[in-house]
Amino acid sequence: MPRLKYASILRVLVILGLFCLWVQIMLSATNGAMEKDSEELMNTNDTSEQVLALVPPELHKYLTVHPRNATANSTERYGPKNVSDILRAIQRVNEAQTIYNEDIFGPVQNDTVIIAIQVHTRLTYLRHLIVSLAQAKDIDKTLLIFSHDYYDEEINSLVRSIDFTKVMQIFFPYSVQTHPTEFPGMDPNDCPRDVKLEQAIKLKCNNALHPDLHGHYREAKYTQTKHHWWWKANRIFNQLQCTAAHTGMVVFLEEDHYVAEDFLHMLNLLRTTADRTCPQCEILCLGTYLKTYQYHSNSDKRKKHLTLSYIQQVRAVSEERRKRQHDGQTWNYQVYPNFYSSTQKVEITPWHSSMHNMGMVFNRTVWENILELQDQFCAYDDYNWDYSLLHLSQNRPGREKFKVILCKGPRVFHIGECGFHHKKSNCNASTVISKVQKLLQDAKSNFYPSRVTATITAGGAKHNKKLTKGNGGWGDLRDQELCTNMTQVGRQIRKYIYYA
Ligand SMILES: *[C@@H]1O[C@H](CO)[C@@H](O)[C@H](O)[C@H]1NC(C)=O
Ligand SMILES: *[C@@H]1O[C@H](CO)[C@@H](O)[C@H](O)[C@H]1NC(C)=O
Ligand SMILES: *[C@@H]1O[C@H](CO)[C@@H](O)[C@H](O)[C@H]1NC(C)=O
Ligand SMILES: *[C@@H]1O[C@H](CO)[C@@H](O)[C@H](O)[C@H]1NC(C)=O
Ligand SMILES: *[C@@H]1O[C@H](CO)[C@@H](O)[C@H](O)[C@H]1NC(C)=O
Ligand SMILES: *[C@@H]1O[C@H](CO)[C@@H](O)[C@H](O)[C@H]1NC(C)=O
Ligand SMILES: *[C@@H]1O[C@H](CO)[C@@H](O)[C@H](O)[C@H]1NC(C)=O
Ligand SMILES: *[C@@H]1O[C@H](CO)[C@@H](O)[C@H](O)[C@H]1NC(C)=O
């Protein structure tokens, strides 16, 4: 049957051709993603005069962008450049567990406040966060732990230049940067995000049988944040040697946050208030969101969503959800000073992911409760760490949802809202930062309150609604397994490394 044979050879050729084309597309997509990631290092010199005027001169050093030395040998000056070098450097730092400035500020105690800062690539914002931390009262009694998922010498030298308290760096070892062509980065054999199930099965791509609940396949870049958050918490509570006896509070911040000078004072006040009036409050919260611009002004939302990527769509939907919760109280800086009065208000309410995920604080006891239910976090099909934690909170056998105690006059602000996507508008870093600075100046006379009054609220109906399904993006079994694996690592002895 020559005709039949010919047809099947043709079919094989076509399939082979398609496969080659697909591999090419995948490879170019990977390259594109890498290029974009390194471009993302946000380190501009556009700090306005207005902002600088409100920063004490001795702190300007944290805002100064040093021009790259073009004449120097770049490999010498900027250290490791290829992946194997970076992996080795990361391993060395993680093993050494070096605490900078310990000799000046004393060792970590069991009640030292630990401030964990998750850092990606937004260096400009990180500079401002450091400036705000430098001005906080009692900052010299804390330990700052910077947790990085991107290795960059400029970020490292900024962090190591901090001289106002103890500092430690930890590096997320499963980053996209260090796994450019394999899981947890993007493997060439990973299923394209939008491919249909039947097609994926034919392609025999990785985990073809496990798209997320929206039928999409994983995107490495977007799973990284949840992995990093989980790894960081595990690392701090369960693995570092300096926290073996730690029972104090751990504050969770991100690179684009900004703190008020009395945030540690407020934290202690929240703690004592909770101990007295709300022993069941497991989470303390210092922050809230600034709403500086409209996400969807007047335009047709559906149409707008069509032009967004899948993850952006998911973000837009959660953003809208968050916005609806704030109905009737639009967050903007004009209304804030009302929250700062001589007797300040704190609120006790059920913890909700999107409202109480900034400047979140808890201790080891609470972490152990979370860890017991790690399945609820790791196996939940949502790429957001905060929604995963909400899911866990709502599914605690025999226990209530997490309660949070939060200050109504926020002490942590999100300055990174006008990130990459708003370059054209007037919404730049300097604009937001100078507004936060102004707000804090106006509120200054009401800082360091000696007492607070607590109100207990049940939270809105929407806010208490049980999550029925996640936002997706976390269907791949490898992600769920890696998440679980991270909890299996025990405490690691600090290795002293001597430099010649
Ligand atoms: C940034 O600004 C400072 C002071 O304005 C200047 O000295 C420095 O050269 C600038 N750096 C870059 C990379 O433009
Ligand atoms: C640039 O690098 C060269 C060679 O290492 C060095 O001599 C010079 O001092 C550097 N310049 C600056 C501004 O760091
Ligand atoms: C950089 O280093 C290499 C090897 O160490 C050397 O051959 C080269 O001349 C250096 N380049 C510059 C611009 O100093
Ligand atoms: C990475 O760079 C170093 C020099 O910086 C070199 O010795 C090493 O061979 C490189 N590794 C790879 C895999 O390219
Ligand atoms: C912390 O350490 C001190 C002594 O170093 C000890 O007296 C105290 O009981 C410890 N506190 C906790 C909560 O373990
Ligand atoms: C940790 O937090 C819980 C809940 O807020 C609290 O009950 C407990 O006393 C705290 N543990 C320590 C050692 O402070
Ligand atoms: C950001 O805004 C400030 C003042 O609000 C302005 O001086 C600065 O030029 C702006 N920067 C950019 C990059 O638009
Ligand atoms: C999880 O750990 C197991 C056992 O060490 C290992 O075989 C597996 O590859 C790990 N999975 C991931 C996704 O890292």
SS3 state at 404: strand
> In the predicted model, what is the mean pLDDT of residues 225-242?
97
Cα 427 to middle of ligand 3, angstroms: 43
The mean predicted confidence, pLDDT, of the chain is 82
Atom of ligand 4 nearest to the CA of 82: 1
- Confirm if 174 and 227 have CB atoms less than 8 A apart: yes
pLDDT at 284 over 70: yes
**Which of 129-133, 427-431, 443-447, 457-461 is predicted most confidently?**
129-133
* Ligand 7 site, residue 75, Cβ cutoff 6 A: no
- Confirm if 342 and 446 have CB atoms less than 8 A apart: yes
> In the predicted model, what is the mean pLDDT of residues 172-196?
95
Q: What angle is formed at CA 26 by the lines to CA 23 and CA 30, rounded to 5 degrees?
A: 140
pLDDT at 313 over 80: no
Task: Write the single-letter amino acid at 290.
Answer: L
- Atom 12 in ligand 7: which residue has the minimum CA distance? 428
Cα 46 to middle of ligand 1, angstroms: 9
Cα 42 to middle of ligand 2, angstroms: 24
Confidence of residue 160 (pLDDT cuts 50, 70, 90): very high
* Ligand 5 site, residue 247, Cβ cutoff 6 A: yes
What token pair was written down for 342?
Answer: 């001589």
> With the C-alpha atoms ordered 195, 197, 199, 204, is the resulting torsion angle positive or negative?
positive
Only one residue has tokens 């704190």, namely: 346
* Ligand 1 site, residue 67, Cβ cutoff 6 A: yes
- pLDDT tens string 101-118: 999 999 999 999 999 999
Query: When comparing pLDDT for 343 and 163, which is higher?
Result: 163
- pLDDT tens string 321-371: 455 444 322 334 434 555 676 568 889 999 988 888 899 999 999 999 999
* Ligand 8 site, residue 131, Cβ cutoff 6 A: no
> In the predicted model, what is the mean pLDDT of residues 17-25?
58
Q: What is the pLDDT of residue 423?
A: 44
Phi, psi of 453 (to 5 degrees): -110, 135
Radius of gyration of the chain (CA): 24
- Atom 12 in ligand 1: which residue has the minimum CA distance? 67
Confidence of residue 493 (pLDDT cuts 50, 70, 90): confident
- pLDDT tens string 27-86: 444 433 333 443 457 777 777 888 899 999 999 999 988 766 555 555 555 556 789 999
Burial of 225 per CB tally in 10 Å (0-12, 13-18, 19+): middle
> Rounded CA gap, 277 and 454, in Å?
8
99-100 β-sheet, strand order: 99-100, 166-171, 143-148, 114-119, 249-254, 360-363, 281-285, 403-407, 344-350, 452-456
- Atom 9 in ligand 1: which residue has the minimum CA distance? 67
